[in-house]
A and B are shown apart, each in its own frame.
Chain A
Amino acid sequence: DADVTQTPRNRITKTGKRIMLECSQTKGHDRMYWYRQDPGLGLRLIYYSFDVKDINKGEISDGYSVSRQAQAKFSLSLESAIPNQTALYFCATSESAQGRAGELFFGEGSRLTVL
Chain B
Amino acid sequence: AQSVSQHNHHVILSEAASLELGCNYSYGGTVNLFWYVQYPGQHLQLLLKYFSGDPLVKGIKGFEAEFIKSKFSFNLRKPSVQWSDTAEYFCAVNGGNTNAGKSTFGDGTTLTVKP
Using a CB–CB cutoff of 8 Å, the interface residues on chain A facing chain B are: 31, 33, 35, 40-45, 48, 50, 58, 90, 94, 96, 98-109
Contacts and interface: CB of A to CB of B under 8 A. Distances in A.
A97 to B, nearest CB: 10
B101 A42 contact: no
Contact of B103 (A96, A104, A109): A104
Contacts of A90: 43-44
A99 B51 contact: yes
A98 B97 contact: yes
In the complex, the 10 A-B pairs of residues with the closest C-beta atoms, listed nearest first:
A102-B94, A102-B32, A101-B101, A43-B105, A42-B105, A42-B107, A101-B100, A106-B43, A106-B44, A108-B43
Interface string B34-58: 1010000011111001011000000
Contacts of A106: 43-45
21 contacts: A42-B105, A42-B106, A43-B44, A43-B90, A44-B105, A45-B104, A90-B43, A99-B51, A99-B52, A101-B32, A102-B34, A102-B100, A102-B101, A103-B46, A104-B46, A104-B92, A104-B103, A106-B45, A107-B43, A108-B42, A109-B43
B76 to A, nearest CB: 15
Interface residues of B, number: 26
Given A99-B32, A102-B34, A41 B107 contact: yes
B9 interface: yes
A50 B101 contact: yes
B44 A101 contact: no
A40 B107 CA distance: 6
